[in-house]
Structure formats: C-alpha cells, structure tokens
Amino acid sequence: MTNNTARVEDLDGVPAPGPALVRFTGAAFGYGRHRVLSDLSFAIHAGDYLGIVGPNGAGKTTLLKGVLGVLRPQSGRVERRHSEGRDLRFGYVPQINTVDETYPLTALDVALMGRYGRIGPVRRPGKEDRQAALEALEQVGIADLARRLYRDLSGGQRQRVLMARALACEPDILVLDEPTNDMDIAAESATMELIGRLHREERLAILLVSHMLNLVAAHARQIAFLGVGRFEALPAARAVTARHLERLYGTRVSVAECDGRRVVLW
C-alpha cells in the first residue's frame, strides 16, 4: 500500500441522477499507524455508474472497504443513507478467486447467502428467500445452473453466481471488485454487458473497481483515478481525454472512439 493524499474533487459537472447514497467528507483510511488514503471527499448517488481505476497497491481495496463500511475512517466522515431512512444495502461482488471453491455448495446455496442479512440471526431461509435467490439467478441468466455445484462452474458462470448473490440482497448499490479478472474476451464482454443492463434496467448504482483503464473507460459514467498521492473523480467525458490521462500517468496516451466506446492506447 502507498501513502495517498487525495485531491478533493467531487463529481461536479455530472447531473446527479439521484440523492447521495454514500458521501465521503475528508475521510482517511489505513491500517493501524499506516495511512493508505487521506482526505477523500466525494459522493455516490443513486443511479451513478462510478468506475475506480488505479494500479495495484494504490488503495482500491481500502477504498472499497471504506465504501462498504467494513473499514472505519481514521478521520473525516462517511455517511451512508437511503432516502427512505432505512439502512443502505450493498450488493458486494468480490473477486472470484477470493471465494473458497472447496465447499460443496450449489449455485442456489451461494445465491441464497445474499438473503442472510435480511433473515436475521437464528432464523433459517424460507420459501420467499429461495424464490428471491432463484429470481436473482434468473436475472443474471443462469437459473438453469441453480442445482450445479459452484466449484464445477466456469469463471464467467461463477462471477454471475456472485452477482446473483449480490442482487439477492436487493441492493441500492452494486459494488464489484475486479469483476472480469482471469476472464476471456467473451466472458468479459458478457459480464460488462450484464452490469450495464442492471444499471439501466434496475436503476442500480454501480461502483466498479478495476486496474483495467480501458474496461472502466468504456463502461463507467464517472471515473475516479486512484494513484500515488492523488484521487480524482470526474465525469467519464472529462476523465478519458488524452491530455488528462497524459498528465495523470506521465506518459504519451491516445484516446479513440470505437463502436461508441472510448479506447485508451499507450
């Protein structure tokens, strides 16, 4: 991890699609005495599609933990609130290689775990929860794999199971950590298309974390750059320009349009 003093820049310039769900105000995160991120101020609104890009070690996972509330800020404030006054619900999709494949659990068993937070302690999942988990599997197009073991599925199918589990939480924000790691082009394209569809059709706020600039540039509406000593969150149109990227990365960069998507070349 690197020491990171963030530049304060909100997502101004983008018409906020909805009320702020998560708001960071001068927040700093770290582990013990080691500070990883400092002075972060930005907000995620309902309906946002925010991509966070940064090299390994820049603090992406730390930022993610801060958003999810798993890591408390060492200073500053993080507010999470839903407009209806209830607790904010996150649908977290971890990297597939962090999920244990030894357990003989079916795709439905895994998706059902997304309901556990709503069931409460001691109680067991009921028919409604099973139905919700099945619907979530259907939403990501793998209802036919419900009875198959999670460990027997391909990388792309497993990613969809984890997305179904996140959707079974009935989330306000879908948080995805490197969702296309170790995937071939077809699986990557299908996964990103699915995320885009959930954003459009379900009106889900998306927070996508990746080290792949092109992936984020092609899909996110807002992009936050996380790097050594900086944090900038900008609308995609302003963020993915050759001039801006050259200033950020300190190397010659070209930006092209292909099939309506921005492609960064270097």
Partner 1 sequence: MIASLLETFRIDFMRHALLAGLLVGAVCGYLGVYVVLKRIVFVGIALAEMSSAGVALALWSGGALGLAMDEHNHLTTVGAVAMVLVGVLLFSIRWSQRRIPQESAIGIGYAMAAAGALVLMARSATGEAHMMDLLFGNILTVSLCDIGTFAGAGALVVLLHLLFAKEFLFTSFDPEMASTIGYRPRRWEVLFHLTLGITIAFAIRLVGVLLVFALLIMPAVTALTVTRRLNRAFPVSVACGALPIAAGLHVSYARDLPSGACIVLVSFLLLLAGGGVSLLRRA
Question: Which positions touch partner 1 (CB under 8 A)?
Answer: 31-32, 68-70, 90, 92, 94, 98-100, 102-106, 109, 113-114, 116-117, 119, 121-122, 124-125, 149, 165, 169, 175
Q: Closest CB to partner 1 among 66 and 156?
A: 66
Instruction: For the CB of residue 171, give the shortest distance to partner 1 in the complex, in Å.
Output: 10
Q: Closest CB to partner 1 among 116 and 249?
A: 116
Instruction: For the CB of residue 169, give the shortest distance to partner 1 in the complex, in Å.
Output: 6
Q: Closest CB to partner 1 among 106 and 191?
A: 106
Task: In whole angstroms, give the CA distance from residue 113 to residue 116.
Answer: 5
Task: In whole angstroms, give the CA distance from residue 163 to residue 140.
Answer: 7
Q: Closest CB to partner 1 among 167 and 264?
A: 167
Instruction: For the CB of residue 166, give the shortest distance to partner 1 in the complex, in Å.
Output: 8
Cα three-residue angle 202-205-206, rounded to 5 degrees: 105
Task: In whole angstroms, give the CA distance from residue 159 to residue 182.
Answer: 11
Alpha helices in 94-241 (DSSP H): 107-112, 116-119, 127-139, 155-168, 185-201, 213-219, 236-239
Instruction: For the CB of residue 20, give the shortest distance to partner 1 in the complex, in Å.
Output: 19
Task: In whole angstroms, give the CA distance from residue 184 to residue 127.
Answer: 36
Task: In whole angstroms, give the CA distance from residue 114 to residue 246.
Answer: 41
Q: Do 101 and 151 touch, CB atoms closer than 8 A?
A: yes
Concatenating the DSSP letter of every residue in 72-121 gives --SEEEEEE--TTSSPP-EEEE--GGGS-S-S--BHHHHHHGGGHHHH-S
Q: Closest CB to partner 1 among 46 and 149?
A: 149
Instruction: For the CB of residue 104, give the shortest distance to partner 1 in the complex, in Å.
Output: 5
Instruction: For the CB of residue 3, give the shortest distance to partner 1 in the complex, in Å.
Output: 18
Q: Closest CB to partner 1 among 149 and 255?
A: 149
Q: Closest CB to partner 1 among 79 and 87?
A: 87
Instruction: For the CB of residue 224, give the shortest distance to partner 1 in the complex, in Å.
Output: 20
Task: In whole angstroms, give the CA distance from residue 203 to residue 109.
Answer: 26
